Amino acid sequence: MAASFNLQGKTAIVTGANTGIGQAIATAMAMAGATVVGVGRSSMDETQAQITEAGAKFHAVNADLSTLEPIEMILDAAERVGGRIDILVNNAGIIRRSDAVDFTEADWDDVMNVNLKTTFFLSQAAARRMLKDAKGGKIINIASLLSFQGGIRVPSYTASKSGLAGLTRLLANEWAAKGINVNAIAPGYIETNNTEALRQDQKRSSEILSRIPAGRWGHPEDIGGAAVFLASQAANYVHGIILPVDGGWLAR
């Protein structure tokens, strides 16, 4: 049964692989046997060190995903490294916080460009290559609890993650019969740099923890395991899901 989760011989692109959830996903896929191509704007030396020290393969590609310009370069690099693209994890994302009445067009566009626009066109370009040899592939989007809920003070982030849930289903509908699985993971409250301010706020952190049935914040590694599942043979008949990994938050 363990062989179902073996990614040996697969090449996986993971965007936003420099820290947090992206780093954990990259590491988990490498530990499962995949050759991982990490994409990010900042240094991925820490991720590379973790993976190579464990004897696995990691290759860094520096790119700014706020535009579509680097897409073909990323895919070309991945094919040079691994021969073909088997797995794409769209993890890169940004967030801007402000009351809706004060939210700026720049903050709207910046978030939507990275979280939704580039995700779509990178998925499109990867799928074209996956379809060429009819061997299919796996595309995993990193959604959010705000794919299900509204949140506060993050209008463009909520819109992008709600849109990403719909996009995941749309692409699954179009590509499932062609051998490409498109799914998403919706992380709950995870211990990352993005949530540090919340965790340092004792009142807000206490409110969040009281709502999580598991009684703890999530760890990035919790998302890594879910990503390996969706990238593996074990998920071959899984299409169009948005999988919450949230300690039971949405069950409350």
Containing structural domain, residue 63: 2-242
Average pLDDT for residues 13-17, to the nearest whole number? 98
Cβ contacts of 6 within 8 Å, gap of 6 or more: 32, 33, 232, 233
Residue 224 lies inside a defined structural domain of this protein? yes
Give the CATH number of the domain where residue 23 resides: 3.40.50.720
Residue 247 lies inside a defined structural domain of this protein? no
Average pLDDT for residues 3-16, to the nearest whole number? 94
Examine the pLDDT at 3 and tell me if it is beyond 80.
Answer: no
pLDDT tens for 190-230 read 999 878 888 998 998 999 999 999 999 999 999 999 999 99
Residue 248 lies inside a defined structural domain of this protein? no
Strand partners, 30: none
Query: Residue 93: which of 174, 7, 169, 187 has the closest Cα?
Result: 187
Q: What do you get for the CA distance between the two ends of the chain, in Å?
A: 33
What's the domain count of the chain?
Answer: 1
What pLDDT is recorded for position 194?
79
Q: For the chain, how are helix, strand and coil distributed in percent, rounded to 5? A: 50, 15, 30
Residue 21 lies inside a defined structural domain of this protein? yes
Residue 250 lies inside a defined structural domain of this protein? no
Going edge to edge, which strands form the sheet with 180-187?
A: 58-62, 35-40, 11-15, 87-90, 137-142, 180-187, 242-245
Tell me which H or E stretch contains 142. strand 137-142
Residue 251 lies inside a defined structural domain of this protein? no
Q: Distance (Å, rounded) from C-alpha 194 to C-alpha 125?
A: 29
Cβ contacts of 224 within 8 Å, gap of 6 or more: 21, 24, 25, 27, 28, 29
Residue 252 lies inside a defined structural domain of this protein? no
Examine the pLDDT at 238 and tell me if it is beyond 70.
Answer: yes
pLDDT tens for 63-109 read 999 999 999 999 999 999 999 999 999 999 999 999 999 999 999 99
What pLDDT is recorded for position 32?
97
Residue 161 lies inside a defined structural domain of this protein? yes
Examine the pLDDT at 1 and tell me if it is beyond 80.
Answer: no
pLDDT tens for 133-184 read 999 999 999 999 999 999 999 999 999 999 999 999 999 999 999 999 999 9
Q: Of the ranges 29-38, 183-192, 199-208, which one carries the lowest mean pLDDT score? A: 199-208
Give the active site residues: 157
- Would you say 206 and 243 are in contact if contact means Cβ atoms under 8 Å apart? no
